[in-house]
Copies of this chain bind each other. A is one copy, B any other.
Amino acid sequence: VINVREARPGDGALLVVTTEALAAFHGNAGKVKATAERFEQALFCEDPIIGALIAEHDGALAGAVVWHRSFSTNAGHEIMYMEDICVLPEFRSKGVGKALMRATAELALARGYDAIFWLAMSWNERALAFYRECGAEVEEAHNVCRIKGDALKALAA
């Protein structure tokens, strides 16, 4: 049985597991700096901007979604950004991903958001097919740009 529920205090360690699994899948094993404490601080502070859903399969951790509040300038209102969706390798092809997507959509609507957006790697055909099956429109040809660390300081100087 698949059960999806909102994260609760104590789930920070589960989110580290799913974040590390996703990092490994993207070739970034060992690069995760997030800790259980940091997740719990962000999730359970006064006015959190992030939220998380935990998927369990027969009671075992099977996957998770981490989302955060976002804002569409075209729409002029908040929408939901799905930062991560993870299904642990041993729970693939059991409907966990679909259950997570469904619960995320339900939560978005309950919060009054009319859209969710997220990024996918364009080489990940399997994920893209799955997202399209879920009803998503996929826009190609975007690059993600990041500036951090010394480059950020140099730009600000």
Q: Are the CB atoms of B74 and A28 closer together than 8 Å?
A: yes
A117–B145 Cα gap in the complex (Å)?
5
Which of A1-9, A54-62, A99-107 is the interface stretch? A99-107
> Taking A74-B28, A76-B33, A147-B137 as contacts, is the C-beta distance between A156 and B117 under 8 angstroms?
no
Q: Are the CB atoms of A145 and B119 closer together than 8 Å?
A: yes
Task: Place the interface of chain A in its size category.
Answer: 35 or more
- Can you name 19 A-B pairs with beta carbons within 8 Å? A33-B74, A34-B77, A42-B78, A50-B71, A66-B71, A68-B69, A70-B70, A71-B83, A73-B83, A73-B84, A114-B148, A116-B146, A119-B143, A135-B151, A135-B155, A137-B147, A138-B145, A139-B144, A141-B143
Closest to A76 in B: B34
Q: Are the CB atoms of A115 and B148 closer together than 8 Å?
A: yes
Q: Which 9 A-B pairs have the closest CB atoms?
A: A34-B76, A135-B151, A38-B76, A115-B148, A105-B156, A105-B155, A106-B156, A122-B141, A136-B145
